[in-house]
C-alpha cells in the first residue's frame, strides 16, 4: 500500500510542477493536494513499521512533495511552507528545496523567452537564496538524505542560469542601443 501511494505521490508532484511551468496555478494546487493525500496514505501505512519510515520510497515521495509545494511557492513569490506544515522530514524538505530551486531554471528561461527580464532576475535571486541556505547544511548523507550531492547539482544549475540571464540582459541592452542608434540616424 505504501509503495503504491508513494508512486501516486511522485506522479502527481511531477504533474503539479509541470502545471506551475505552464502557468496553471489552480491545476498545480489540485495536483499538489492530490499528492499530499497520497503521501499521507503512505505515511499512515508505514506507521506500524518505524524502520521503514526513513526508507527510500517514502523519503523520495516526501522530497517530491516538498519540491512541488516549494516550486509553486517560489514561482508565485509566496512564503515557503515549512517541513512541519508539509508533514515531511527536515531532510526531505531540504532536498525538495534544492530540487525546487533547480526547477526555477526552467521557469526563468520561459520568462526570458517572453521578454520578462525583471522576473528572471527575481527567480535567480530566489535560486541564489535557496543555495545560500543549503550550502550551510553540513550533515552526513545518512542524516541529510544526500543533500550535499543535491546542493552541488544546484550550484551547477545556478551558475548556468546566472550565465544565461547575464547573456540575455546584455543582448537586450545591445539591441536597445542599436535600435536607439538606428532611430537617431533616421
Task: Give 92: exposed, middle or buried? Use CB within 10 Å, 0-12, 13-18, 19+.
Answer: buried
Looking at residue 185, what is its pLDDT?
81
What's phi and psi for 71, nearest 5 deg?
Answer: -60, -50
Which of 148, 151, 105, 145 lies closest to 131 in space, CA to CA? 151
Q: State the pTM of this model.
A: 0.90
Looking at residue 55, what is its pLDDT?
66
Residues 33 and 84: their CA atoms lie apart, in Å, by 16
Residues 31 and 14: their CA atoms lie apart, in Å, by 9
Q: What is the pLDDT of residues 87-123, one digit of tens each?
A: 999 999 999 999 999 999 999 999 999 988 889 999 9
Residues 183 and 57: their CA atoms lie apart, in Å, by 61
Domain count of the chain?
Answer: 1
Residues 28 and 24: their CA atoms lie apart, in Å, by 6
What's phi and psi for 6, nearest 5 deg?
Answer: -65, -40
8 Å CB contact between 84 and 41: no
Question: 6 lies in which domain range?
Answer: 2-185
| Grid cell locating 104 | 526555477
Task: Give 86: exposed, middle or buried? Use CB within 10 Å, 0-12, 13-18, 19+.
Answer: buried
Residue-by-residue pLDDT tens, the chain, 186 positions? 999 999 999 999 999 999 999 999 999 999 999 999 999 999 999 988 877 776 689 999 999 999 999 999 999 999 999 999 999 999 999 999 999 999 999 999 999 999 888 899 999 999 999 999 999 998 877 777 889 999 999 999 999 999 999 999 999 899 989 998 888 887
Residues 80 and 171: their CA atoms lie apart, in Å, by 33
The shares of helix, strand and coil residues in the chain, as percent rounded to the nearest 5, are 85, 0, 15
| CATH assignment at residue 82 | 1.20.58.2140
Amino acid at each position: 500500500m505504501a509503495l503504491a501511494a508513494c508512486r501516486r505521490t511522485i506522479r502527481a508532484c511531477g504533474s503539479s510542477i509541470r502545471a506551475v511551468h505552464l502557468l496553471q496555478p489552480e491545476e498545480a494546487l489540485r495536483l499538489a493536494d492530490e499528492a499530499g493525500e497520497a503521501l499521507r496514505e503512505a505515511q499512515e501505512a508505514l506507521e506500524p513499521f518505524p524502520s521503514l519510515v526513513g526508507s527510500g520510497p517514502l523519503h523520495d515521495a516526501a522530497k517530491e512533495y516538498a519540491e512541488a509545494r516549494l516550486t509553486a511557492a517560489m514561482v508565485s513569490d509566496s512564503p515557503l511552507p515549512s517541513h512541519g506544515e508539509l508533514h515531511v522530514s527536515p531532510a526531505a524538505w531540504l532536498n525538495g528545496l534544492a530540487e525546487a530551486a533547480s526547477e526555477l531554471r526552467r521557469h526563468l528561461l520561459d520568462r526570458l523567452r517572453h521578454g520578462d527580464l525583471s522576473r528572471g532576475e527575481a527567480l535567480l535571486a530566489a535560486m541564489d537564496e535557496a543555495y545560500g541556505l543549503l550550502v550551510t547544511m553540513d550533515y552526513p548523507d545518512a542524516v541529510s538524505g544526500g543533500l550535499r550531492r543535491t546542493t552541488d547539482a544546484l550550484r551547477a544549475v545556478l551558475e548556468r542560469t546566472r550565465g544565461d540571464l547575464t547573456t540575455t540582459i546584455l543582448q537586450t541592452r545591445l539591441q536597445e542601443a542599436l535600435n536607439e542608434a538606428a532611430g537617431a540616424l533616421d
